[in-house]
A and B are shown apart, each in its own frame.
Chain A
Amino acid sequence: MGQRDILPLETSMKRKRGLHTASMCRLDLDPAVTVLKKEVEPGEEDALSSSRYMLGRGVKRKLSDCEDPVLGLPYPQQRQLVLDLCLDKLQSCQRRAEPSLHRSVLLANTLRQIQQEMRLEGGNCLPPAPPAPTLLHASTPRHIPELPPVSLDCPPHLSGSLSPSNSLATSEDGEAQLDCAESKPLYSSLSDEVDERPSDSLFGSFEITNSTSYLTDLALDDIFEDIDTSMYDSSDISVLAYPAPRGNGVASGIGDEGLKNFSSCTSNTLQLCLSDLSDLDHIMEILVRS
């Protein structure tokens, strides 16, 4: 490699786009932004007080220049930091217009891994008692989960204190300490308190929808349930929904299991057919009349 000289090609192409004037993205965290607002129990020093990542009074650790400041924290606090970040990111991921399934899966796995670790550690100290009601109300709005329960393998001795569905509800503020002296469970089960979400609501909202593929999300059976379609040859009707058999490798046309393969209809025709709900009504009328 040392023997090769590399220089710009004589002509270079440039895309004319406004240059971002985004603030420089550096490793240093903006001290003005406290990502984590933690309520700590009285008498306890907030590990993330104004001087970032400094421990409590007088306990300072000299870090080498290139280490992450967080590495100066004791392990449980590092873990808590990552856990909180994870939840923040998962929630903001859900709120995006085009959420990334890849990112959400990675975050959920990280979260699960940390939770399992915490459970196993805290599990030895927990009495099999149901969570105190006060815990449920102690959560900050930020911690009220928008996330559905994630099934985890639950150690048997915890099953009394945690709901079987092991909600993704986070640790309560102030419950971050992993002292075995803690008598309350780390994660109260909020699944009784929140609506049961459809099972794939965490990852189920990622399917891309637009006006041409919205049909995959509608309950097509409901729309057509009063229409007797048995007399119609399925290959002539391109808008009816058939559950495509999985794994048969045959041309599956539209992405999800909702729509049947149509050999007679190009994607353009489908777009024309299905661009509006009013078109759908129109189609229904035609089907009923004919």
Chain B
Amino acid sequence: KIKYVRRTEENTTPASIQAKPAPSGTAHARSNSAPRRRRRGRPDPPHQAARMAAASAAKRMLPDGGADDEERWLAEGIAGVQQNAFYMHRALDSNNLKDALKYSAQMLSELRTSRLSPHKYYELYMRAFDEMRKLEMFFREETRRGSCSVVDLYELVQHAGNVLPRLYLLCTVGSVYIKSKEAPAKDVLKDLVEMCRGIQHPLRGLFLRSYLSQISRDKLPDIGSEYEGDADSINDAVEFVLQNFIEMNKLWVRMQHQGPVREKEKRGKERNELRDLVGKNLHVLSQIEGVDLDMYKETVLPRILEQVVNCKDDLAQFYLMDCIIQVFPDEYHLQTLETLLSAFPQLQPNVDIKTVLSALMDRLSNYAASSPEVLPEFLQVEAFAKFSNAIGKVIEAQPDMPVVGAVTLYVSLLTFTLRVHPDRLDYVDQVLGACVKKLSGKAKLEDSRATKQIVALLSAPLEKYSNIVTALELSNYPRVMDYLDNATTKVMAVVIIQSIMKNTTCISTSDKIEALFDLIKGLIKDMDGAQDDELDEEDFKEEQNSVARLIHMLHNDDHEEMLKILCTVQKHILQGGPKRLTFTVPSLVFSALKLVRRLQGQDGDVTGEDVPATPKKIFQILHQTIEALSCVPSPELALRLYLQCAEAANDCDLEPVAYEFFTQAFILYEEEIADSKAQITAIHLIIGTLQRMNIFGVENRDTLTHKTTGYSAKLLKKPDQCRAVYACSHLFWTDDQDGIMDGERVLLCLKRALRIANAAQQMANATRGSSGSVTLFIEILNKYLYFFEKGIPQITNTVIQDLIELIRTEKQSDNTVADPSTEAFFASTLRYIEFQKQKGGSIGEKYEQIKTT
């Protein structure tokens, strides 16, 4: 049988001593009369002098500091502990139980202080705690040796005068008592947890109960434990921990309401430091073997939640809810989801529910991801519906919750549903819809954290499905995007495009492309109120290049649908304004030209009016599109694209179309391209393209070639004129079947080039006193050789021989400085002639007459 003492409050006279055996009463009377400062009049422990000196030094420096006072109080407390511990050890060494109890009680009396903050109190407590372990070992030795029975000890310690030391000693002996198995663990624990009610001071009570929790952890009558008792043993274990938890939480909460109002914030901080003492109990509960799902469902969770909800304390509710989620296993949460979630809307309005609820969803998401075998469980308990419902209720219950909080909740719910129900696109849309509902009526978001969460919300489905087409089916997706500011809309658009490129997703219907362009409209056109000057040039280029790449991903093998796609893309990109067109138009042009080529591969009967996808139709689109570019103005690019189209039209046998494209190119050349270098490149492109055209009738061809040679001869610099003119010679001689073979005009071009080379030479002589254009003559010589081999009758070996001699003369003329590259060019040309001679056959014969030396 256990003998025990009941006290209602510490430091009070024993008003209600239970009618139990005697010793407690006398013990009480004696201790109460003991002087408060017992260490006076006793020899100082070795280091006390040093401590005093340090404390007084500190005091001099900071005369009135509260922190300084606290330091001093702590130092005094520690000194008290050490001093009494010193005597306790001496008593232990000499097996003097009576003195050991006396000094341990005095040591523990130091914990009765009310002057320390939790942090300092903890330090003091730890000192005493270490000493108590030694005392406990002594008790165990004593009882094992049989010099004192544990029952007697249990009674003896109750003689301590003050309730706090008495209860610490009682817990310590209680631990030994349980270990001795002389009484059932449950009885001792029940006794102890009840007795601890004697301390109602929050800080002292919390630490005492924490001590109780600490020493009893390994002695619970758990199933399978050596302390397991009768059938209901596990209930006793759980009941004990729960009761200790509930009492501790009450003390913890009460702490908030003691002391002056102005220190409320400080108290909140101090309480936060103590939270783990309370939470530890939940951890212990989760470690009890006997707490199975049923037990958890029926007893543990409801009791904890009851306490959490009823304590009506912000800090406790937030911390404990989080604690529950962290310490108990995932499958328990899943099976008790309804109970757990039902607590959330009942929490105080200022509790940061979103963090806790998000933590729960994240945990369960990870659980779902851990193994596919657990997924049926989620379906069975309808986890999504429950979460969705709970979030709705929480948002309703907390109308002041900032947008970022609500959106964070939706992000967690979305993550959860993507992991648990990847096949339920409707759930995803539902979450987005709920988010829109929360955002509705608000202007665009300005809170950067909320924006970040929205981006996370919108990115999650892209990552999960790696396919934008899926996201395009979500009706609420663009509606959520509408709440983003312009800059973030662009960021999101880039994310979307990157996702498409990374997964090489092909988007193949104009409807979907319409939806896609709606999502990325931030990149496609100027948004209302956007400030252009803030744009970073590099960023802008990168964004527009990404749009240009995207255009290549918009594709359908069906010609009709592809045409629709092109029209849709055109409609959108033409809204882009001058800065964007130069990036996006080329992509559209080439995408269209690819379709032209596909149509060209079909049979020729595609000109009927009822068939929309004809090359003609596409060329109209191309014409409009490039025209937009020439207004930008970006004439050089437009000219190149017109020439590309002309060539494509040539391949489609559409002479008027090809002619029109050439006309446009020529207009640009004449009116817009003024830079001499740009002119050179443009003229070479014109010559190169025109050389490949084979559909023009004589008249059209003459017009175009005439213009081209005219432009060539009007370039700014003579050498450039010369090169362009000899390149024009190819316009009159093509190797194709029924190609043009107008030797007369080839020769005209070459002669004209020679005249220009001569003029260039004379100009160089006149201005710089040197030549420098001999290389032009060698180039022309090479062209002569080219057509000589082609068999143009007007070009004979005599003509070539004359040209070689001319070059030699020019080279040797007095005022010409030898240029090694010119020398090399001439040498390699002569070597070529020799090479051709040695070939023999008809070519060798042709070259036979030409002398190279």
A associates with B: no
